[in-house]
Amino acid sequence: MKVDLHCHSLASDGALTPQQVLERAHANEVSMLALTDHDTIAGIAEATATAVSLGVNFVPGIELSSQWSGVGIHVVGLAIESQNPLLTSALCEQSHKRETRAQEIGRRLAKLGFDGCYEGAKQIAGDSEIGRPHFARYMVEQGFVEDHSTAFNKYLGAGKVGDVKNQWPGLEEVVRWIHVAGGYAVLAHPDKYKLTRMKLRRLLTDFKEVGGDAIEVVSGQQNKDITEYFARLCEEFDFYASCGSDFHNPNTRWCDLGKVAPLPKICRPVWQLWGSAGALKAGL
């Protein structure tokens, strides 16, 4: 059974419409899929409708931006009731913060001599929730940098000038939104934060304390040793385990929908938490 509980559509920084995401997941024989766009549920209705017509077990999800100890941390919410009023008003606030942040990123880049980045990124984002990848695309288009990863390595990535994160809420708050919406909170891609082992343990301790339910033991094409390491931590801290490709774009072939290694045997899969009720929430 192929399970993929983390991916993006055009509603945030993905390249495909929610319908195309579901069609691709179906073609790749994914049997359970969660769409987890950054700070938005705008793609969930279309994804649900497509999942129903294709017979894919669809789990409504989200990836919330938060901060902890000065680090930008992503928390995935799974099996959420996407129309929950507290969640929708919180997302309205997140969207507002994204807009204010985008203006600040634009100002900072302008100071370095890169003009028009805010306007350019806005145009590329269109109706999507704006994020740093839209800035990266504009900077490539303008020839300010040679490619997307250079844009992040030099200007937009962690610790760089365009990494504006102090507006995001803390872990406790985003976990609460997810729980109020009937969902389960998953610490996304724990290897991506590049924390020391000590600091990672502190993060897991704090995530547990605020009621976090699971961690992404498998994220994309990560090394097997890393998976084993997170599986052991998952057991030690008594979390459920999740897995997802973090798919954004069909051009990145190493990261496709459903291309996710199986969870190690010692893990308790996060979908045990919702069982068939999660599918019911999606209207299946």
Residue 74 found at the interface with Mn ion (CB under 5 A): yes
Residue 211 touches which of ligand AMP, Mn ion, none (CB < 5 to 8 A by kind)? none
Q: Residue from 77, 133, 190, 269 that binds ligand AMP (CB under 6 A)? A: 133
β pairing state of 2-4 and 30-35 = parallel
- The interface region with ligand AMP, picked from 26-34, 131-139, 207-215, 225-233 by CB under 6 A, is 131-139
Residue 157 found at the interface with ligand AMP (CB under 6 A): yes
Residue 6 found at the interface with ligand AMP (CB under 6 A): no
Residue 250 found at the interface with ligand AMP (CB under 6 A): no
Sheet with 57-68: strands ordered across? 2-4, 30-35, 57-68, 71-78, 184-187, 214-219, 240-244
Residue 183 touches which of ligand AMP, Mn ion, none (CB < 5 to 8 A by kind)? none
**Nearest in space to 171 (alpha carbons), one of 213, 134, 138, 129:** 213
Q: DSSP label at 59?
A: E
Residue 131 found at the interface with ligand AMP (CB under 6 A): yes
Nearer CB in complex with ligand AMP: 72/182: 72
Q: Is residue 104 within 8 Å of 121, Cβ to Cβ?
A: no
Q: What does the block give as tokens for 163?
A: 């990494």
Residue 38 found at the interface with ligand AMP (CB under 6 A): yes
Nearer CB in complex with ligand AMP: 106/278: 106
Considering only residues 224 to 253 of the shown chain, the ones binding Mn ion according to CB under 5 A are 246
Query: Any residues with CB less than 8 A from the CB of 14 and at least 6 apart, and which?
Result: 7, 8, 21, 37, 247, 248, 249
Nearer CB in complex with ligand AMP: 251/272: 251
DSSP H helices, the chain, are 18-27, 44-54, 85-111, 117-125, 132-141, 148-151, 171-180, 197-209, 224-236, 275-281
Q: Residue from 132, 179, 189, 281 that binds ligand AMP (CB under 6 A)? A: 132
What is the binding site for Mn ion (CB under 5 A)? 13, 63, 74, 188, 246
What is the binding site for ligand AMP (CB under 6 A)? 13, 38, 65, 131-133, 148-149, 152, 157, 248
